Structures are given as structure tokens and as C-alpha cells.
């Protein structure tokens, strides 16, 4: 597994020090709810991966690899775009690791 300390960390904040872009993007684009009447929203797969990259750590990296392996039809260009907008790095290393599983 790739050590999270080797990945390049980018500044995750919007101008003005608001919530990190990756979080604002995920919340704004989450439209599915757990059940009717619930305020708990389901984050789309690409945003979940970006949030886990933002969180960092070995467990998050393992989760990302598992998400990639279990969702082979996931649009990796979409995931990359979300990560780029959220200013989080390290995705390509985890994609390579998921492909080797």
C-alpha cells in the first residue's frame, strides 16, 4: 500500500478560508437521500473518493482501493476531475494499486 505521507498534499481551502472545496462540492451535488423524508444525503462515488483522499490515512487509502476494485465501471476521468476541483492529490497511485489487485 502507498504510504499516505508520500502523497503530495495540496491546499484544500477555497479563498477566504471557507470549508474545503472537496466538502462543499460533495454536499452541493449530493441529491440522493437514505430514505424518503431523511435529511441524510448519499455522496456520489467520485466525491466519496475525493473526500477520503482529503481525509488521508491508511484506512482511507484502503477504502479507496476497495471502492475502485468493487466499482470497475466508475468513470475515472470523473473521479480525477472531482479530485482536481477539490485540490486533493494522490489518486493515480491508488488507481494503479487497485489495478494490481
Asked if the structure places residue 95 within a domain, the reply is yes
> What local confidence, expressed as pLDDT, does residue 33 receive?
87
Q: What pTM did the predictor assign? A: 0.77
Domain count of the chain? 1
Distances from the Cα of 72 to the Cα of 45, 54, 84, 98, angstroms = 12, 22, 21, 10
Asked if the structure places residue 82 within a domain, the reply is yes
Cα gap 9→27, rounded to integer Å = 22
**Percent of the chain scoring above 90 in pLDDT:** 54
- Per-residue cell: 34: 437514505
**Res 79 pLDDT > 90:** yes
Asked if the structure places residue 27 within a domain, the reply is yes
Asked if the structure places residue 11 within a domain, the reply is no
Q: What is the mean pLDDT of residues 87-92?
A: 91
pLDDT digits over 57-69, tens only?
999 999 999 999 9
Asked if the structure places residue 91 within a domain, the reply is yes
Phi, psi of 33 (to 5 degrees): -115, 160
**Res 56 pLDDT > 70:** yes
Amino acid at each position: 500500500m502507498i504510504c499516505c505521507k508520500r502523497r503530495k498534499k495540496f491546499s484544500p481551502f477555497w479563498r477566504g478560508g471557507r470549508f474545503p472545496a472537496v466538502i462543499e462540492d460533495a454536499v452541493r451535488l449530493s441529491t440522493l437521500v437514505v430514505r424518503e423524508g431523511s435529511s441524510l444525503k448519499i455522496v456520489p462515488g467520485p466525491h466519496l473518493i475525493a473526500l477520503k483522499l482529503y481525509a488521508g490515512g491508511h484506512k482511507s487509502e484502503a477504502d479507496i482501493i476497495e471502492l475502485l476494485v468493487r466499482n470497475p465501471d466508475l468513470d475515472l476521468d470523473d473521479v480525477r476531475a472531482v479530485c482536481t476541483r477539490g485540490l486533493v492529490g494522490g489518486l493515480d497511485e491508488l488507481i494503479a494499486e487497485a489495478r494490481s489487485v
